Amino acid sequence: MTRRRARGFTLVEALVAMAVATVTVAGFYSAVGTGARLERAAEDQAANVLLASQILDRTGVDIPLRAGLFEEGQVGPRRWRLTITDGVQRDMDLGRIPAGHLLTVAVSVTGQGPDVTLRSLRYAASPL
């Protein structure tokens, strides 16, 4: 008598297929979760940059432009700090600039997402 080979999957083959499918789905789920976290961090950083640039734009218009000024505030969960110092910071290599001509304006935003600091140079006295 000859034995006929059974057609179809055996139990071991079915378990291996289930294991492969589980690993694939777990990898996909992990990738989607990582993408969502990175998207949230990018949105938070963009909101911090927007707030810092708005405060930087207000400096010299609503906020007086004078050396030694220090202001703080909060917008929702984000805290901001504005500092105006006389002269140019050492890491801004601009050559020799006479004292009293430029002010460094720095705005830092913290509280939600990555911390952001924007710096700008402004004329100490209006050239007009």
**33/43 Cα distance (integer angstroms):** 15
Q: What are the tens digits of pLDDT across the range 70-90?
A: 888 999 899 999 999 887 666
Residue 115 pLDDT > 70: yes
- Binned at pLDDT 50, 70 and 90, residue 116 comes out as very high
Q: What is the DSSP string of 65-118?
A: --TT-EEEEEETTEEEEEEEEES--TTS------TTSEEEEEEEEESSSS-EEE
Instruction: Look over the chain and give the mean of its residue pLDDT values, rounded to a whole number.
Output: 84
**107 vs 75: CA distance, rounded Å:** 14
- Residue range 45-57: mean pLDDT, rounded: 93
Name the fold adopted by 11-123: Pantoate--beta-alanine Ligase; Chain: A,domain 2 (3.30.1300)
Q: How confident is the model at residue 14 (pLDDT cuts 50, 70, 90)?
A: confident
Distance between CA 72 and CA 79 in Å, rounded? 7
Q: Are 51 and 113 in contact, with CB atoms under 8 Å apart?
A: no
Q: What is the pLDDT of residues 84-114, one digit of tens each?
A: 988 766 666 666 666 567 888 999 999 888 9
